[in-house]
């Protein structure tokens, strides 16, 4: 993903019309559009191709299965036109290797979740987040997902992965995180959903976040 605005839109709406309207309005401010279960379950995987005409699509399926199932999921995601996939890491190295291998075959990217941004994200992830980050680096993933709600954790994870991997960071706005703070802590991109798609003017909301970050 090319870094221009350091902003990824989390497009968690459930209908095609709204999704395309919002994506069109904000496309000049975002480097990528993250699509997950809400929209794909609402409208089908075909929405990925439509959105990919506006911006590269990150498929957020938080893939977390045995290597063979992970491979099948990633193949479907990339065939549908996604530029990147998001996987969990707690399923282990063999599962992650399977996703990275498919991504390499298709020339696409893989991001691995380390510690999640919501309050419950510390319960199980906290003790293993650094180990997952190291595994993501060892496995040749493109980057990791780390919480904008805890910039100090983004700093910790940056120390583990160095500068070769990217950090994409959700939790800005609706979850209380600050875009500028987490970029200063070492994130490459922020992922923002509700603060943009629930705004009366998604374009203005996206522009304001970009201006705040000065990335
Ligand atoms: O800005 P929001 O809170 O409306 O949306 C944040 C998006 O980021 C939403 O799509 C979440 O599913 C996602 N997300 C988190 O909020 N926290 C995480 O720890 C991880 C993700 C995510 O994208 O994981 C890949």
In this prediction, residue 215 has a pLDDT band, given cuts at 50, 70 and 90, of confident
For Cα atoms 193, 109, 158, give the angle at the middle one, nearest 5 degrees: 70
Q: What is the mean pLDDT of residues 103-130?
A: 97
CB atoms under 10 Å from CB of 106, counted, come to 15
> What is the DSSP secondary-structure string of 144-203?
EE--TT-HHHHHHHHHHHTTTSEEEEE-BSTTSB-HHHHHHTT-SEEEE-HHHHTSS-HH
CB 142 less than 6 A from any atom of ligand 1? no
CA distances to 110, 137, 139, 174, 189 from 97, in Å: 10, 11, 6, 33, 24
Tell whether residue 63 is among the known ligand binding residues. yes
Tell whether residue 117 is among the known ligand binding residues. yes
Residue labelled with tokens 């990528």 = 32
Q: What span, in angstroms and rounded, lies between the C-alpha atoms of 58 and 33?
A: 6
Q: What span, in angstroms and rounded, lies between the C-alpha atoms of 79 and 179?
A: 32
Q: Atom 13 (ligand 1): residue with closest C-alpha?
A: 170
Cα–ligand 1 centroid distance for 115 (angstroms): 11
Cα–ligand 1 centroid distance for 73 (angstroms): 20
ipTM: 0.99
Q: Atom 2 (ligand 1): residue with closest C-alpha?
A: 193
Q: Atom 15 (ligand 1): residue with closest C-alpha?
A: 170
- 101 among known catalytic residues: no
Cα atoms found within 13 Å of the Cα of residue 192, Cβ hemisphere only: 34
pLDDT tens figures, 54-85: 999 999 999 999 999 999 999 999 999 999 99
Q: What span, in angstroms and rounded, lies between the C-alpha atoms of 131 and 189?
A: 22
Domain ranges (residues) in the chain? 7-212
Tell me: pLDDT of 135 over 90: yes
pLDDT > 70 in the chain, percent: 100
Q: What is the mean pLDDT of residues 114-132?
A: 97
- 214 among known catalytic residues: no
- 156 among known catalytic residues: no
Among 15, 31, 49, 60, the one annotated catalytic: 60
- What homologous superfamily is domain 7-212 in, according to CATH? Aldolase class I (3.20.20.70)
pLDDT tens figures, 186-199: 999 999 999 999 99
CB 175 less than 6 A from any atom of ligand 1? yes
Ligand 1 atom closest to Cα of 60?
25
CB 191 less than 6 A from any atom of ligand 1? yes
């Amino acid at each position: 993903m090319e870094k221009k605005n350091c902003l990824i839109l989390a497009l968690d709406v459930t209908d095609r019309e709204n999704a395309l309207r919002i994506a069109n309005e904000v496309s000049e401010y975002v480097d990528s559009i993250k699509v997950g279960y809400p929209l794909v379950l609402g409208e089908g995987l075909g929405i990925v191709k439509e959105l990919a005409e506006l911006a590269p699509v990150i498929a957020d399926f938080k893939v977390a299965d045995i290597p063979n199932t992970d491979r099948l999921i990633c193949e479907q995601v990339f065939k549908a036109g996604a530029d990147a996939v998001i996987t969990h890491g707690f399923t282990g190295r063999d599962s992650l290797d399977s996703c990275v291998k498919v991504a390499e075959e298709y020339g696409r990217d893989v991001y691995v979740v380390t510690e999640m941004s919501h309050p419950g994200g510390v319960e199980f992830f906290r003790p293993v987040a650094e180990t997952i980050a190291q595994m993501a680096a060892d496995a040749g993933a493109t980057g990791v997902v780390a919480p904008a709600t805890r910039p100090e954790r983004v700093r910790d994870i940056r120390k583990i992965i160095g500068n070769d991997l990217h950090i994409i960071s959700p939790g800005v706005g609706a979850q209380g995180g600050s875009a500028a703070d987490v970029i200063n802590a070492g994130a490459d991109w922020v992922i923002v959903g509700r603060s943009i798609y629930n705004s009366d003017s998604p374009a203005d909301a996206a522009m304001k976040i970009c201006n705040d970050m000065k990335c």
